[in-house]
Amino acid sequence: MGSWEFDVVCVGHLAVDRIVVGGESRTSVGGAVYYGSAVLAALGLKVGAVTRIGRSDWHRLDQLRETGVTVFPVEADGTSGIENVYPDPGSDRRICYPLGFAGTFALEDIPDISTRLFVVGPIMPGEVQVPLLHALARRAPLALDLQGMLRQQRGQELVIDGWPTALEGLSAVRYLKADDVEACALTGLTNIGEAARKMAELGPAEVMVTHKTGVLVLSEDEVHEAPFTPRSLAGRTGRGDTCFAAYLGRRLLGAPPQEATEFAAALTTMKLEQPGPFQGSVDDVRVR
């Protein structure tokens, strides 16, 4: 690992979510930092996680520590959370309602540590501001999940909308991830390949777009695709976070984009079949 203190440092809110499927409800820890860190640690990388969270929920950070992740918690007035409602148990369509907000990250929340890559995964509107993206990008290459940057609260619901400062924000980003709905909201394009190219024009060198049946990656003007082939969707929450982390981890370990795309899809397929973060062995991941 040379002089790097960490291979990857993930930044984002750890959330206490409520998952409602077919009228049945359960509480679950969530957030991109939670799902993504577990995958990166499983790949054998040295992973740090910076999160804002209410003091009463600090015990939940033990779930990250148990996977080998070094956690840097920032005490917040409360803990973020989202109620994810899946009206149709056989579909990944969801309706999102905010349950809490742990506040906006400040630059002083990020410890003075070195890393090969920052992965920023906001889940709430206002969680991350553009100046923080640029400050982190000056320290190491930056990967960004678009989700929280595009979310807005309308009434009681969280919805995907535009990002007025996208041009400024994406100029700091090397790796970008969106799902098909988010890609369309940002670019106005429904074809995910075209949307990926338009997003790449704004700065990112590599763009991932996930969708119900698989993943597409644009790297160096080449498109790479691989399918998800799960037997169930029991673990659909955290799909994109898992896929992005698996791709980034394999790229850091030296895999070319097509190989990393196929690996990410195969690992995500395993995760889709089980609620919670990826808990399998990397040795069990088989490209199908």
Within a domain: 65: yes
Q: What is the CATH number of the domain that holds 249?
A: 3.40.1190.20
pLDDT of residue 2: 45
Report pLDDT digits (tens) over 221-235: 999 999 998 888 887
Which residues of the chain register pLDDT less than 50? 1-2
Q: DSSP label at 189? A: -
Within a domain: 219: yes
Domain encompassing residue 117: 6-274
Within a domain: 31: yes
Q: DSSP label at 138? A: T
Q: Which stretches does DSSP call E strand in 22-94?
A: 24-30, 47-54, 70-76, 81-86
Report pLDDT digits (tens) over 98-153: 999 999 999 999 999 999 999 999 999 999 999 999 999 999 999 999 999 999 99
pLDDT of residue 230: 87
pLDDT of residue 1: 40
Within a domain: 28: yes
pLDDT of residue 92: 64
Within a domain: 120: yes
Within a domain: 285: no
Structural element, H or E, at residue 205: none
Within a domain: 288: no
Within a domain: 72: yes
Domains: count for the chain? 1
3-state helix, strand, coil in the chain (%, to 5): 30, 30, 40
Report whether 146 contacts 121 (CB < 8 A).
no
Pairing of strands 175-179, 157-160: unpaired
